[in-house]
Amino acid sequence: MMERFTGAFTQQEPIPEAGIEAAIAVMRGGRLHRYNTIGDEVAEVALLEQEFAAYTGAKFALAVASGGYALGAALRAVGVCAGDPVLTNAFTLAPVPGAIAAVGAVPVFVDVTRDLVIDLTHLERMIGETGARVLMLSHMRGHLCDMDALMAICDANGVQVIEDCAHTMGAAWNGVPSGRHGVIGCYSTQTYKHMNSGEGGFLISDDPEIMARAILLSGSYMLYDRHLAAPAPEVFEALRMETPNVSGRMDNLRAAILRPQLRDIETQVDRWNALYRTVEAGLENTPGLSIITRPPQERIVGSSIQFLLDGWDGDRVVEVINRCAARGVELKWFGAADPVAFTSRYQHWRYAPSQDLPQTDAVLAGLIDMRLPLTFNTEDCALIARIIRAEVSAVYQSA
User: What residue ranges do the domains of the chain occupy?
Assistant: 17-263, 265-398
Mean pLDDT of 372-388: 98
How would residue 166 be classed by pLDDT, with cut points 50, 70 and 90? Answer: very high
Q: If 0-12 CB within 10 Å is exposed, 13-18 middle and 19+ buried, where does residue 398 land?
A: exposed
Q: How far is CA 37 from CA 42, 218, 233, 278, 342, in A?
A: 7, 18, 19, 47, 38
Closest CA to 230 of 246, 249, 208, 252: 208
Torsion of CA 376, 378, 380, 381, to 10 degrees: 100
Distance CA 56, CA 61 (A): 9
Q: Which of 19-23, 52-56, 75-79, 346-350 has the lowest mean pLDDT?
A: 346-350
Q: Was domain 17-263 assigned CATH 3.10.150.10? A: no
pLDDT digits (tens, 9 = 90+) for 31-51: 999 999 999 999 999 999 999
| Secondary structure of the chain in HEC code, one letter for each residue | CCCCCCCCCCCCCCCCHHHHHHHHHHHHHCCCCCCCCCCCCCCHHHHHHHHHHHHHCCCEEEEECCHHHHHHHHHHHCCCCCCCEEEEECCCCCHHHHHHHHCCCEEEEECECCCCCECHHHHHHHHHHHCCCEEEEECHHHCCCCHHHHHHHHHHCCCEEEEECCCCCCCEECCEECCCCCCEEEEECCCCCCCCCCCCEEEEECCHHHHHHHHHHCCCCCCHHHCCCCCCHHHHHCCCCCCCCCCCECCHHHHHHHHHHHHCHHHHHHHHHHHHHHHHHHHCCCCCCEECCCCCCEECCCCEEEEECCCCCHHHHHHHHHHHHHCCCCCEECCCCCCECCECCHHHCCCCCCCCCHHHHHHHHCEEEEECCCCCCHHHHHHHHHHHHHHHHHHHHHC
pLDDT at 119: 98
Query: 368 - beta bridge partners?
Result: 307, 333
Does residue 399 surpass a pLDDT of 80?
no
Handedness of CA 224, 230, 231, 232 (dihedral sign): positive
How many Cβ atoms sit within 10 Å of the Cβ of residue 60?
A: 23
Is 265-398 the same fold as 17-263? no
pLDDT band at 243 (very low <50, low <70, confident <90, very high): very high
Q: Are 261 and 196 in contact (CB under 8 A)?
A: yes
Give pLDDT, residue 339.
84
Query: How close are the terminal C-alpha atoms of the chain, in Å?
Result: 25
CA 145 to each of CA 69, 123, 140, 170, 201: distance values in angstroms, whole numbers, following the listed order: 24, 12, 10, 15, 22
pLDDT at 214 > cutoff 80: yes
Q: Over range 61-86, report the average pLDDT.
A: 98
The pLDDT of residue 50 is: 98
- Contact in structure between 99 and 124 (CB atoms under 8 Å): no
Confidence of residue 343 (pLDDT cuts 50, 70, 90): confident
Share of the chain above pLDDT 90, in %: 96
Domain spanning 265-398 has what CATH number?
3.90.1150.10
Instruction: Look at residue 2 in the predicted model and tell me its pLDDT.
Output: 87
| Residue 392 to residues 287, 319, 361, 398, Cα–Cα distance (Å) | 8, 9, 21, 10
Cα separation, 155 vs 80, whole angstroms = 17
Sign of the alpha-carbon dihedral angle for 135, 138, 143, 144: positive
| R_g of the chain, CA atoms, integer Å | 21
pLDDT in tens, 354-364: 999 999 999 99
- Whether pTM exceeds 0.85: yes
Binning pLDDT at 50, 70 and 90, where does residue 54 land?
A: very high
Given a cut of 90, whether residue 395 has pLDDT beyond it is: yes
Q: Which residues contact 48 (CB under 8 A, 6 or more apart)?
A: 63, 250, 255, 258, 259, 262
